[in-house]
A and B are shown apart, each in its own frame.
Chain A
């Protein structure tokens, strides 16, 4: 066995020093870019350490009947909904992801779901596994770069044929209180369903 694999302490110090200087350099160009890098590093670190994986959260209930990650995803959704409501509901100038709804939402979701199972990771999962050193997800990223290019080229066609409707921002229709109550209720039901599915 390669002794480097046994103890990577020195590599870790070298990596952290390099990151420190990269961060400083970036902060001198634009502190916001450095902040984004830092947040990205935090997200990648947390994804790796908690073995969090969107693919597994959707796939494991089907393949193995385990729903531990699905329950974690439900928690992440709940935290994010409340956090976004707090931030965007109280501040000005936030652009939220309220996208148009059409046949392309459904077809895109289906293709995306099939693809992420075959690739062994969704977009963030592919990036995380590249960091871990997986050759498979390096190939998946190459495939994804071609795929997003084709997707970008054909979006106009889908917008014409996909019966696309403007996105619905639920609080604008129902008000914040009803929206948040409804969303939390759906998440609780999904969570109970996930627990029942695992204990079946």
Chain B
């Protein structure tokens, strides 16, 4: 019992346990929100809000609307939950960039993944996992495209970064 508790707090959990817990929580999110868990729709709303501040977008999303959006708290929760998980195991620390090239790779990668997610209506969570969980054909097609993209990305990674 004590041993189990230690593993639960310190980890790592076996992958299948992670998958079952994530699956259960994913279903709970659907029950609470009446629509599935997603990440990038909310990021998009924040980006439009920020672009308006900079004068790059004409439409205005009031910040009160963003602060009352469920997606904001799901996303914030993921960050805080991971922070807590690291803290509970005394493993939290700031992890600086190891090399400058990883910074460029992160910025460019982020740009690509953000753009791709929004023109395809979803990321790995909203588009892939929950597209498929919603028994939508689009989810399966998106998964295939993401797999091919990952393959191309891995080639780029091997050529330029490792």
A65 within 8 Å of B by Cβ? no
| Pairwise interchain contact B116-A52, C-beta atoms closer than 8 A | no
Contact of A43 among B14, B25, B70, B97 (CB under 8 A): B25
| Chain A 89-119 near chain B by CB (<8 Å), digits 1 or 0 | 0000111111111001111111111111111
Question: What residues of chain B lie closer than 8 Å to A167, measured between beta carbons?
Answer: 136-138
Complex interface residues of chain A between 120 and 138 (CB less than 8 A to chain B):
120, 122-137
The residues in B between 17 and 66 inclusive whose CB is less than 8 angstroms from any CB of A are: 17-40, 43-44, 46-48, 50-51, 56-57
With both chains docked as a complex, state the minimum distance between the C-beta of B71 and any C-beta of chain A, in angstroms. Answer: 8
CA distance A19 to B147 in the complex (A): 37
Indicate if the CB atoms of A127 and B132 lie closer than 8 Å: no
Q: Is the CB of A110 within 8 A of B47?
A: no
Interface size classification for chain A: 35 or more
Contacts of A179 in B (CB 8 A): 135
Query: In angstroms, how far is the closest chain B Cβ from the Cβ of A158?
Result: 5
Q: Find A48's partner among B77, B81, B106 (CB 8 Å cutoff).
A: B81
B17 touches A50 (CB 8 A): yes
Give the dominant DSSP class at B's interface.
helix
Contact: A113 with B82, CB < 8 Å? no
A selection of 27 A-B contacts at a CB cut-off of 8 Å is A7-B90, A9-B90, A36-B71, A36-B73, A40-B77, A42-B81, A47-B22, A71-B15, A76-B23, A79-B24, A95-B35, A101-B141, A111-B113, A115-B111, A115-B115, A119-B106, A124-B39, A131-B79, A132-B91, A136-B97, A148-B40, A148-B114, A148-B115, A152-B44, A169-B135, A179-B135, A183-B135
Q: Which residues of A contact B (CB under 8 A)?
A: 2, 5-9, 11-12, 15-16, 19, 26, 29-30, 32-52, 54-55, 58-59, 62-63, 68-69, 71-73, 75-77, 79-81, 83-85, 87-88, 93-101, 104-120, 122-137, 139-152, 154-155, 158, 167-171, 179-180, 183, 186
